Amino acid sequence: MSAPTLDAPPITTMGPIADAIRAGEMPGRIWVYSNYHCNLACGYCLTESSPKSKRREVDRDTMVEIARQGAELGFTGIGVTGGETFLLPWMPEAVRAMAEHLPIVVLTNGTLFQGDRISKTDGMDHDNIALQISLDSHLPDVNDMARGEDNFRKVVDCVPRLIEKGVTVRIATTTEGDLDDPALDPLKEFVATLGVAPEDHLIRPIVRRGRADELNMGLTAEAKDIPSELTITADGAFWGSFGPTVSNGRLDTDLLLTRTILPLDIPANALLGALQGMPAGNDAALGIR
């Protein structure tokens, strides 16, 4: 889920959020869950996403406003995740609009860019935009076992075409094994053949939340283990992008900060308060002091 930030702009804003980010006390990136439905239904999905999932959409204008207010507060980047983000027809235009405010990375399974539909990414050959596409194995059968039939072919088809268009592409691999397992070497070599730089290949563990928890997969993570990036959903603001997971059809609220998402300074200050060990605000439910 997490990715390195794009080149962060210098923070020129004054105020407690900007100061905390500048001092390294608070992460500079905001995450937004644009939606929870997906055309796939991966075995380890944190959000139990599938075509039948409740959508829980953040609308286009709210997404752009989060980026605008985030830049004003001193945040230095934004990530968009889901669900499959590009199921939302307005997503391509919204990504370009958000990139006017902050560097943006958009997580996608890459399956909706087949054939002419790669035009969804027109205008994303932009210094402030990166697409992060999932690929779990260099072996088609192994990859597709976790991510769905024909997933490998679709990803391997679209990545070089995106790069040829000038779009920055990152590959994200989710693994149950050790992150430095030599067994991942063939995958790293394969990803390089697609035109993706080694520093743009992110390998991360399965986190035992959502569907992975139901299947007893992955690492058990507490709040202290989860990067404390401010994460916005239609249902509220959370501690970290691993916060707003779904288990047995219900949104997990153990890492909920506030039900309010805008103005953004309300959840941002709730996160800062939690990080600084101050008493949380009235609508904070996160039990971290």
Query: 231: buried, middle or exposed (CB in 10 Å: 19+, 13-18, 0-12)?
Result: buried
Residue with tokens 């990530």, as numbered in its chain: 79
Q: Which stretch binds ligand SF4 (CB under 6 A): 78-86, 91-99, 119-127, 152-160?
A: 78-86
Phi-psi domain of 210 (left: phi exceeds 0; alpha: psi -120 through 50; beta: other): left
- The region of 3-11, 77-85, 122-130, 279-287 touching ligand SF4 under the rule CB under 6 A is 77-85
Q: What is the CA radius of gyration of the chain?
A: 18
Task: Tell me the sheet residues that pair with 105.
Answer: 79, 130
**Residue 38 interacts with ligand SF4 (CB under 6 A): yes or no:** yes
Chosen residue from 65, 84, 213, 252 binding ligand SF4 by CB under 6 A = 84
Q: Is 83 in the site for ligand SF4 (CB under 6 A)?
A: yes
What's the min distance (Å) between Cβ of 20 and ligand SF4?
30
- Figure out which of the listed residues 3, 30, 45, 187 binds ligand SF4, where binding follows CB under 6 A: 45
Shortest distance, position 84 Cβ to ligand SF4, whole Å? 5
In the complex, least distance from residue 37 CB atom to ligand SF4, rounded to whole angstroms: 9
Three-state DSSP at 32 gives: strand
Q: Does 218 bind ligand SF4 (CB under 6 A)?
A: no
Among the residue ranges 23-31, 36-44, 228-236, 250-258, the one whose residues contact ligand SF4 (CB under 6 A): 36-44
Smallest distance from the beta carbon of 12 to ligand SF4, in angstroms?
35
Which residue shows structure tokens 């600084």?
A: 276
**Near ligand SF4 by CB under 6 A, which window of 57-65, 76-84, 161-169, 272-280?**
76-84
80 binds ligand SF4 per the rule CB under 6 A: no
Residues 6+ apart with CB under 8 A from 272: 16, 17, 20, 25, 26
* 49 near ligand SF4 (CB under 6 A): yes
77 lines the binding site for ligand SF4 (CB under 6 A)? no
Q: Which is nearer to ligand SF4, 76 or 85 (CB)?
A: 85
CA–CA distance, 128 with 9 (Å, rounded to integer): 10
Tokens of 270: 């709730």
Sole binder of ligand SF4 in the list 17, 20, 30, 40 (CB under 6 A): 40
Q: Looking at beta carbons only, is 42 or 271 nearer to ligand SF4?
A: 42
Closer residue to ligand SF4 in complex, CB, 28/110? 110
Q: E strands of the chain, at which residues?
A: 29-33, 77-81, 104-108, 129-134, 168-175, 201-205, 230-233, 236-239, 246-247, 250-251, 256-258
Q: Which residues of 266-284 are buried (b: 16+ CB within 10 A; e: fewer)?
A: bbbbbbbbbeeeeebeeeb
Closest separation between CB of residue 217 and ligand SF4, Å? Answer: 12
Q: Does the N-terminal peptide bond of residue 160 adopt cis geometry, omega within 30 degrees of 0?
A: no
Question: Per-residue b/e over 1-37, b at no fewer than 16 CB within 10 Å?
Answer: bbbebbeeeebeeeebbbebbbeeebbbbbbbbbbbb
- Report if residue 133 touches ligand SF4, rule: CB under 6 A: no
Tell me which residues touch ligand SF4 (CB under 6 A).
38, 40-42, 45, 47, 49, 82-84, 109
